[in-house]
């Protein structure tokens, strides 16, 4: 064998052996932000770039979907067996995807997330399936001058408004004659907003969407005494013209508080910067009222998880661990204004550090947040809850409507053999 032949043989063998070792394994990742906040996309792109450069075993490739179409795209991909390695999932939907075998538990010790806000961790069947880089919180938007002018006490986290106080404040604001409505609940948004924003009211009254002690029925929770009390009060808000009803115009919701048409607004931290810019120090973000069983707000936003179809769960887990470093939690918060998942990351941000403009939302999330029912049946139950609240607002009989919703949810749970509970 000639020297050239030997040399080429050695080169070929070296290349063949080195090839697989050098080539990074591709990890596909889907998320819901196509067309969304470019700062969010850029932050994801930065994390992915830095992860890919930080090691040579894995290369994450991002595919974005529009949020409205994302869940349907995941379902179709699951049917076709084409799920990616890493997915992002809305917190309350996660149990459904875990139960449907779209996702697998995270192969990461839970202690790594010990300092994360509770709402950022997605559990199902005792296992951690997803982790969020941020959480969201809702507060009662108000103006200090308006409350003082009307002699209304400014509530605090330690001493929120009671039902009686809150109701009296609304009546007083209405009687002032200065507002179209004293309270804007964003009734125009008929999506996930209803269960996210309004089920905490029901829970604070002592009811719930389902019975969380068993997750096998909604009877008693959604149509019991506490729930009916909530329903009656809810209906009265619209009967007494204290809040615009289901026919509210989107434009009115977007501009009403800023233009002084509404005195109070139940809104999330994602919309907080505009009124802060407009009203400055006069702007207040107040805690949820305590309707009898403690003040509550919703929790859990988008989280990262690993699809059941992934053959590279170890690589996907490495990426999730990498992405959940405090510096990235802070980067996301600075980019899109949401609440960073840890207190340490909060201190690294402009808005959520001590004394920051939105620091109050971190405290609200830490002290008042309650995740929506952790069950695969939530997807169905949320639709029934939404319909029931909409119907009651429109004047339907409270007991009958809640009974019908509870029956439908319970029947769905039974039809699905208890959803694994």
Taking CB under 8 A as the criterion, the residue among 72, 148, 164, 277 binding other proteins is 72
Q: Locate 71 and state its tokens.
A: 């869940």
Q: Is 34 in the site for other proteins (CB under 8 A)?
A: yes
379 binds other proteins (CB under 8 A): no
Closest CA to 312 of 46, 50, 61: 61
Q: Are 298 and 196 in contact (CB under 8 A)?
A: yes
Shortest gap between Cβ of 64 and other proteins (angstroms)? 7
What mask of x and - would describe binding to other proteins in positions 332 to 371, judged by CB under 8 A?
Answer: ----------------------------------------
Q: Give, as ranges, the residues between 78 and 117 that touch other proteins (CB under 8 A).
A: 79-82
Q: Cβ contacts of residue 3 below 8 Å, gap of 6+?
A: none
User: Can you list the alpha helix ranges (DSSP code H) found in 122-281?
Assistant: 144-149, 163-175, 193, 199-205, 225-239, 250-256, 273-279
Q: Min. distance of Cβ 20 from other proteins in angstroms?
A: 19
Binding region for other proteins (CB under 8 A) out of 113-121, 152-160, 218-226, 244-252: 244-252
Whose Cβ is closer to other proteins: residue 20's or residue 251's? 251
Side-chain-side CA neighbours of 268 within 13 Å: the count stands at 21
**Cα 407-413-414 angle, rounded to 5 deg:** 85
Which of 35-43, 202-210, 238-246, 319-327 is the region at the interface with other proteins (rule: CB under 8 A)? 35-43
Query: 115, 395 in Cβ contact below 8 A?
Result: no
One of 36, 118, 206, 356 touching other proteins (CB under 8 A): 36
Q: Which is nearer to other proteins, 81 or 355 (CB)?
A: 81
Contact 215, 419 (CB under 8 A): yes
81 touches 309 (CB < 8 A) = yes
Nearer Cβ to other proteins (85/290): 85
Q: Which is nearer to other proteins, 41 or 143 (CB)?
A: 41
What's the rounded Cα separation, in Å, for the pair 225 and 222? 9
Cβ 34 to other proteins, closest distance in Å?
Answer: 5
Interface residue with other proteins, options 68, 154, 168, 411 (CB under 8 A)? 68
Give ∠ CA 92-98-102 in degrees, rounded to 5.
115
Closest distance of CB 180 from other proteins, Å? 13
If the CB atoms of residues 70 and 352 are measured against other proteins, the closer one turns out to be 70
Vertex 294: Cα angle to 290 and 298 (nearest 5) = 90
**How many residues bind to other proteins according to rule CB under 8 A?**
28
Q: Which stretch binds other proteins (CB under 8 A): 28-36, 92-100, 152-160, 346-354?
A: 28-36
Considering only 77, 152, 288, 389, the residue that binds other proteins (CB under 8 A) is 77
Q: Compare residues 322 and 332 and give the one whose CB is closer to other proteins.
A: 332
Stretch that binds other proteins, among 10-18, 30-38, 233-241, 340-348 (CB under 8 A): 30-38
Residues in 246-265 that interact with other proteins by CB under 8 A: 249-251, 254-255
- By CB under 8 A, what part of segment 195-234 binds other proteins? none
Residue 63 lies near other proteins (rule: CB under 8 A): yes
Asked if residue 295 lies in contact with residue 287, where contact means CB atoms within 8 angstroms, the answer is yes
Q: Packing angle between helix 225-239 and helix 163-175, nearest 10 degrees?
A: 10
Q: How far apart are the first and last CA of the chain?
A: 70
Nearer CB in complex with other proteins: 171/273: 273
The residue count of the chain comes to: 421
Among 39, 50, 172, 270, binds other proteins (CB under 8 A): 270
- At its nearest, how many Å lie between other proteins and the CB of residue 60? 16
Decide if 153 contacts 166 (C-beta within 8 A): no
Burial per residue of 366-380, b for 16 or more beta-carbon CB atoms within 10 angstroms, e otherwise = bebbbbbbbbbbbbb
Report DSSP state, residue 287: P
Asked whether the beta carbons of 39 and 335 are under 8 A apart, the reply is: yes
Among 64, 117, 226, 330, binds other proteins (CB under 8 A): 64
Residues at the interface with other proteins (CB under 8 A)? 30, 34-38, 63-69, 72-73, 76-77, 79-82, 249-251, 254-255, 270-271
């Amino acid at each position: 064998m000639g020297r050239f032949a030997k040399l080429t043989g050695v080169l070929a063998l070296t290349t063949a052996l080195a090839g697989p070792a050098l080539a990074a394994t591709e990890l596909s990742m889907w998320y819901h932000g196509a067309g969304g906040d470019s700062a969010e996309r850029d932050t994801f792109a930065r994390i992915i770039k830095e992860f890919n450069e930080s090691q040579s075993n894995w290369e994450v490739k991002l595919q974005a979907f529009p949020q409205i179409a994302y869940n349907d795209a995941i379902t179709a991909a699951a049917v076709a067996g084409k799920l990616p390695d890493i997915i992002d999932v809305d917190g309350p939907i996660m149990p459904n995807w875990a139960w449907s075998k779209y996702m697998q538990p995270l192969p990461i010790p839970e202690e790594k997330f010990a300092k994360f806000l509770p709402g950022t961790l997605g559990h199902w069947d005792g296992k951690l399936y997803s982790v969020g880089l941020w959480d969201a919180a809702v507060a009662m938007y108000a103006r200090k001058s308006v409350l003082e002018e009307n002699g209304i006490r400014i509530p605090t986290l330690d001493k929120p408004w009671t039902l009686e106080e809150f109701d009296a404040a609304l009546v007083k604001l209405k009687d002032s004659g200065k507002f179209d409505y004293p309270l804007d609940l964003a009734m125009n948004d008929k999506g996930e907003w209803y269960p996210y924003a309004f089920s905490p009211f029901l829970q604070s009254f002592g009811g719930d969407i389902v019975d969380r002690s068993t997750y096998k029925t909604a009877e008693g929770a959604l149509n019991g005494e506490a729930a009916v009390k909530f329903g009656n009060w809810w209906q009265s808000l619209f009967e007494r013209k204290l809040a615009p009803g289901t026919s509210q115009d989107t434009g009115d919701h977007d501009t009403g508080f800023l233009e002084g048409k509404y005195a109070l607004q139940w809104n999330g931290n994602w919309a907080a910067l505009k009124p802060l810019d407009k009203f400055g120090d006069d702007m207040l973000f107040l805690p949820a009222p305590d309707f009898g069983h403690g003040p509550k707000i919703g929790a859990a936003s988008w989280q990262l998880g690993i699809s059941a179809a992934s053959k590279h769960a170890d690589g996907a887990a490495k990426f999730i661990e990498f992405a959940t470093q405090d510096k990235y939690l802070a980067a996301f918060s600075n980019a899109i204004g949401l609440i960073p998942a840890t207190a340490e990351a909060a201190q690294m941000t402009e808005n959520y550090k001590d004394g920051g403009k939105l620091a109050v939302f971190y405290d609200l999330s830490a002290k008042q947040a309650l995740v929506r029912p952790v069950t695969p049946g939530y997807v169905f139950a949320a639709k029934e809850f939404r319909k029931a609240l909409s119907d009651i607002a429109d004047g339907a009989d409270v007991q009958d409507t809640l009974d019908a919703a509870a029956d439908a949810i319970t029947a769905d749970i039974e039809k699905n053999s208890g959803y694994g509970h």
